[in-house]
Amino acid sequence: MTFKAPVKDMLFALQHLARLDEINRIPGFEDANLETAQAVLEECARLNEEVIAPLNWEGDKNPSWWRDGQVFTTPGFKEAFRQYAEGGWQGLQHPAEFGGQGLPKAIGAMCTEILNAANLSFALCPLLTDGAIEALLTAGSEEQKATYIPPMIEGRWTGTMNLTEPQAGSDLSLVRARAEPQPDGTYRIFGTKIFITYGEHDMADNIVHLVLARVTGAPQGVKGISLFIVPKFLVNPDGSLGARNDVHCVSIEHKLGIKASPTCVLQYGDHGGAVGYLVGEENRGLEYMFIMMNAARYAVGLQGIALSERAYQKAVQYARERIQSRPVDGSVAGAAPIIHHPDVRRMLMTMRALTEGCRAMAAVAAAAYDAAHHHPDEATRRQNQAFYEFMVPLVKGYSTEISHEVTSLGVQVHGGMGFIEETGAAQHYRDAKILTIYEGTTAIQANDLVGRKTARDGGAVALAVAAQVAATEQALASSGSEAAQAVRVRLQAARAAYEEVVRFIAAQAKADPVAAYAGSVPYLMLAGNLMAGWQMARALLAAEQELAAGRDEAFMRAKIATARFYAEHILPRALAQRDAIVHGAGSLKAMALEAF
């Protein structure tokens, strides 16, 4: 059950792919150099390896439980959360003026991955709190920021996102929770919210619920939804806690995975109405929530990478220990550790290549976020913002779908033992299943990719990214090594498939929306695959240079082999996806709905 944070690979991604040196030159990030990153990641690794990771399996065995409106978390979680808060980890990426450390997202993302790999169920509490902080930073009043953000950064309070209702999941236009304006400027909130992560728990003194609801008389649909702060305990002017608010956890769900993370049904206003405070303006709630959701979507992508990394490490360990059968090449005389068998190596390499590829993609996206938000030059900010926004559905959608594949292979490497819960491999497989669902299913990510990120600009950003891929192909051609050559061929083929699909999607989105959207998830998977494969190609070039400079030979050789494996085994999937997207809509439409 051990876990070791992949600090070395993270630093490689920060240095060579995310170009931390460039982020470091942005005003405000003067301290964010490679040495800082290393120190932060190593400290983060220590806490997570020693304190938080050992609670992961415990949380699966002894999930959080509900009694009379209270939720009790797994033994050990409360104390671990205290250590997490005291270490200042909740404020890592948040502004110094509210008690945060103001580090770039590129570094913060790596810490988020480590935390989620250590313990996904635990990590969900800080993750939702991050979302609440970001929403208030964007849309809250100065008073709201001053009241709610510092206690959340200190880890004394936590935050939640309250969107879903029984009839309103992906479709938030169906939200029914209502808000009645009061003479004192506050609102009374009524309604039921479901699937609220850490909606109730015992790890903090207060919980700051951010709630979507309709003000009396508001328009129907998404344009009538407002955002409210509804604290579990009302807050006195001096910041101390006042009366218990009228929001109560009436049950928690019995789930496939992330069992230690309480998934709550919250009932608002059954005893006269919960006191709520409007955030920003009325009827702009969805807009604010999307800010929060975009941050959360990126973070869920990191969760996919985190589970993949954890599953990979576990599988490697088992493959080194389990002795079974003689290798086909006769390299060992008798029964050998199964890592000697070609298919076990293929599975491990697939897990490794997918994990490193997704991590590289996420690192580059985070760097774009930092430049988009902090670079002094406006054109640079705009360009990076467009790139980041294009990448969010890919980081979320691709990395989480991939985590299914990787955690499934993780079970498979363990053979029969993988099916036994005590082994622990199955937990990662179960936990991963939520990642393609919450914060917008893969189809919702793919709708975003097709609609807002591709069709709206006629594919301009998507094709500009392809041009960057082509530039990497040029660099691979210049390298001249056999590995670079092999990668170039596959990268070029995948890029050509991607460009064909982008043009198809851009052309069809209006002309034949069923055809375009029928290909939306395959397009997302193709694009994610290409982006990850592209970053692995850049990693190969960087590793070749490092190798030439005599640095860290074993690591660089492994990176080159992994990049080549990605190109040869994963990138060709793009060809199959291209065919399905471009030629496949007809058979979808031919099926009568009644015939299913």
Whether the CB-CB separation of 516 and 593 falls below 8 Å is answered with no
Identity of the residue, 379 or 595, whose beta carbon is nearer to its own copies in the bound complex? 595
568 binds its own copies (CB under 8 A): yes
Listed in sequence order, the residues at least 6 apart from 490 whose beta carbon sits closer than 8 Å to its beta carbon are 533, 567, 568, 571, 572
Return the range that interacts with its own copies (CB under 8 A); candidates 182-190, 196-204, 278-286, 585-593: 585-593
Q: From the CB of 141, what's the least distance to its own copies, in Å? A: 32
Tokens of 431: 């936990």
- DSSP string over 138-171: HH--HHHHHHHHHHHHTTSEEEEEE--BTTBSS-
75 binds its own copies (CB under 8 A): no
Return the range that interacts with its own copies (CB under 8 A); candidates 67-75, 129-137, 324-332, 388-396: 324-332
576 closest CA partner among 470, 502, 501, 477? 501
492 Cα distance to chain centroid = 28
Identity of the residue, 385 or 441, whose beta carbon is nearer to its own copies in the bound complex? 441
Which of 404, 457, 503, 547: binder of its own copies (CB under 8 A)? 404
Q: From the CB of 150, what's the least distance to its own copies, in Å? A: 32
Which of 73, 90, 520, 535: binder of its own copies (CB under 8 A)? 520
Which of 412, 479, 481, 492: binder of its own copies (CB under 8 A)? 412
592 binds its own copies (CB under 8 A): yes
419 binds its own copies (CB under 8 A): yes
Give Cα separations from 38 to 9, 83, 103, 335 (angstroms): 11, 20, 13, 41
505 binds its own copies (CB under 8 A): no
Which of 146, 335, 471, 477: binder of its own copies (CB under 8 A)? 335
Which of 19, 82, 345, 374: binder of its own copies (CB under 8 A)? 345
Q: From the CB of 172, what's the least distance to its own copies, in Å? A: 9
Tokens of 469: 């891929």
Identity of the residue, 188 or 578, whose beta carbon is nearer to its own copies in the bound complex? 578
Which of 55, 364, 518, 541: binder of its own copies (CB under 8 A)? 518
250 binds its own copies (CB under 8 A): no
Whether the CB-CB separation of 303 and 296 falls below 8 Å is answered with no
Tokens of 333: 């005389």
Q: From the CB of 346, what's the least distance to its own copies, in Å? A: 5
Round to whole Å and give the CA distance between 474 and 375: 28
Whether the CB-CB separation of 154 and 99 falls below 8 Å is answered with yes
Q: Which residues are part of the catalytic machinery? A: 439
- DSSP string over 503-524: HHHHHHHHH-HHHHHHTHHHHH
Identity of the residue, 241 or 443, whose beta carbon is nearer to its own copies in the bound complex? 443
Round to whole Å and give the CA distance between 105 and 125: 19
521 binds its own copies (CB under 8 A): yes
426 binds its own copies (CB under 8 A): yes
Whether the CB-CB separation of 570 and 539 falls below 8 Å is answered with no
222 binds its own copies (CB under 8 A): no
Which of 257, 273, 280, 533: binder of its own copies (CB under 8 A)? 257
* Cross-strand pairs, 206: 157
Taking CB under 8 A as the criterion, which residues in 121-180 touch its own copies?
A: 164, 167, 169-171, 173-174
Round to whole Å and give the CA distance between 358 and 99: 31
Q: How many residues bind its own copies (CB under 8 A)?
A: 98
CA distance between the termini of the chain: 44
Tokens of 407: 């955690």
Which of 387, 504, 534, 565: binder of its own copies (CB under 8 A)? 565
513 binds its own copies (CB under 8 A): yes
481 binds its own copies (CB under 8 A): no
477 binds its own copies (CB under 8 A): no
Element at 204 (helix H, strand E): none
Which of 49, 253, 500, 552: binder of its own copies (CB under 8 A)? 253
SS3 200: coil
Whether the CB-CB separation of 286 and 171 falls below 8 Å is answered with no
241 binds its own copies (CB under 8 A): no
Q: From the CB of 561, what's the least distance to its own copies, in Å? A: 4
Tokens of 496: 């050509």
325 binds its own copies (CB under 8 A): yes
